[in-house]
Amino acid sequence: MDAQWAHRDRSPWPARLLALGVALLVTGPALGPGFVLLRDMVFVPRQDLDLDALGLSGSLPRAVPVDAVMALLTAVLPGDLVQKAVLLGLVFTAVLGAARLVPPDADGRRGLAAAVAGLVYGWSPYLAERLLIGQWTLLIAWAALPWITRAALRVRAGVPRAVPVLVLTCVPAALSSTGALLAAGVVLAVVGIRRAAVPLAALLGMALPWLVAGVLSVSGGASDPDGVAAFAARAENWGGTLVAVLGTGGIWNAGAVPSSRGSAMVPVLTLFLLALAVLGWLTRGALQGAGRGLVILGALGVGLACAGAVPGVAGVLEAVVRTVPGGGILRDGQKWAAWWALPLAVGAGLGARGLTEAVRARGPAVLAGPLAGAALLLPLIAVPDLVWGVAGRLQPVAYPAEWQQVRDVLAEDDGPGDVLVLPFGAYRSFAWNDGRPQLDPASRWLTRPTVVDDELVVAGRSVAGEDARAAEVAGAVEDPLALARTGVGWVLVEQGTPGRPVPSAVTTLPLVLDGADLDLYRVPGARTGPEPSPGRVTAVALAHACALGVVVGAVLWSMRGASTVTLRRRPLRKRVTE
């Protein structure tokens, strides 16, 4: 069974067209002019390769190394084009990857099984909810998981040069800490412990940028344990938390849940889908080898996703988050349901194939067509409002021109000092973005390091931030002299967004730019902002170099032995007639 999984499809175009159609239906509005700015999804026209991007600022390196990659990409392409390519590409690759993951049937085609698997994986609550919360880096890893599984299957089968191909397939997932762990879990489950040493070592090398930056972070790496309850998976309807997670939903943020998930029919549809997947995995040979590993990994994903909602287990998670550096990665447990999405999709595809074949062989053959149609419709009617940007919520907007003006002023000034952004808070709700919640774009847009509040408020519950400097600056904001001593040289006030009142002392500072949306003040006598120590800079730079070296090495390894010399044909001898 293992050897069949990665076989080529004799009819690949139906799956490709399905993936393209789903990608266009899901991301349609986002492909228009402008940027989609929704919660954590914040793209800017040009991002700089600064301390934040490299993991050398005071906050935990949550966007390392993806911010560095974005800085390099937006140096060549406009940020809005990069965002559109990312969103369209991740949906396309997710659907196509899941479709190609299903083992082909006897005639070498995947057919109905591929279509069902692709839709279950790529038209899912997981995609809808993570899009609405803006976690596009997590979705890149989620989209890569089927391809990582295929590459791991080739390693398991002993295909030549399969290991470097597997390493390269893991690169998109390694752009984020969660993605690297998701990829590592799949590799271990499919390849097995004995063969996983080299690819896991390569994954560790690619994860060094955020690992080293996190260990050396001045914030210490510990997180607020209250975040475990705040970010715990939640029920979306009468089915409860477990059924929501089994359907790949259950995200902690109620505002990021499509309205259709509250329907009373959703648990019923989830159970039908689960029954189809169970039927598929009960197919002869399906639960052997790599198949068994995927199912076990999926069960682990469900367990981690629900852990924060189980009283006794939640206490253990709180202790880990409070005491273990980097333990905060476990707070949002529902994201680990990505592991469950793989066996759910493959099992549903196999179940649809087995059910229709059984009907053709033993029952009224005329029922095979309706059963196939029902299997294809099942994931669609479970999340009908995923169509067209989750019911139009992925609507692009244009940044006000004042943002570029502020960037230009800061870029042209040679004086020292970082930028304090007010109102003090991590998220914004601008009228020009239709009041949608979004992460403050200043840290990515501006050319100087920014100081923003990283405290979060979730359903009325405050989750403390991890940036020690942000707390220090917040205590000095009422005194311009104290503010200057902390290394703040500018104060950017963003108008028209809810937040704490701007201190009156700030409005007495010299006003450099007076706009309708942004006011920029200069802080006289500012010192140079805190800079990372040479040792920390060296360690983080070496970590990035190591990650790049792993990727380059994998490329060279995959090319080794491939002949680049065209075989010469023996010249024809001219026949001489006498």
pTM of the predicted protein model: 0.95
Q: In this structure, are residues 18 and 99 in contact, taking their beta carbons and an 8 Å threshold? A: yes
H or E stretch including 456? strand 456-458
Give 422's strand partners.
493
With a cut of 80, say whether residue 4 has pLDDT above it: no
Residue 533 in tokens: 């120590």
Q: In this structure, are residues 518 and 402 in contact, taking their beta carbons and an 8 Å threshold? A: yes
Nearest-CA neighbor of 525 among 558, 564, 483? Answer: 483
Q: How many CB atoms lie within 10 A of CB 508?
A: 10
Residue 474 in tokens: 């917040």
The confidence band for 455, taking pLDDT boundaries of 50, 70 and 90, is confident
Q: Which pLDDT tens digit goes with each residue over 47-83?
A: 999 988 999 987 778 899 999 999 999 999 999 999 9
Q: How many CB atoms lie within 10 A of CB 172?
A: 24
Q: Which pLDDT tens digit goes with each residue over 17-52?
A: 999 999 999 999 999 999 999 999 999 999 999 988
Q: In this structure, are residues 252 and 233 in contact, taking their beta carbons and an 8 Å threshold? A: yes
Q: Which pLDDT tens digit goes with each residue over 343-371?
A: 999 999 999 999 999 998 887 888 889 99
Residue 295 in tokens: 């199912």
- Which residue in this structure is represented by tokens 């989609």? 36
The pLDDT score that the predictor gives to residue 222 is 66
Q: Which pLDDT tens digit goes with each residue over 403-450?
A: 999 999 999 999 999 999 999 888 999 999 999 999 999 999 999 999
The Cα-based distances of 372 to 137, 333, 356 in angstroms read 34, 34, 7
Q: In this structure, are residues 164 and 157 in contact, taking their beta carbons and an 8 Å threshold? A: no
Give 511's strand partners.
521
- The angle formed by the CA atoms of residues 117, 82 and 185, to the nearest 5 degrees, is 40
Is residue 505 classed exposed, middle or buried when 0-12, 13-18 and 19+ CB atoms within 10 A define those classes?
A: middle
E strands, 10-85, are none
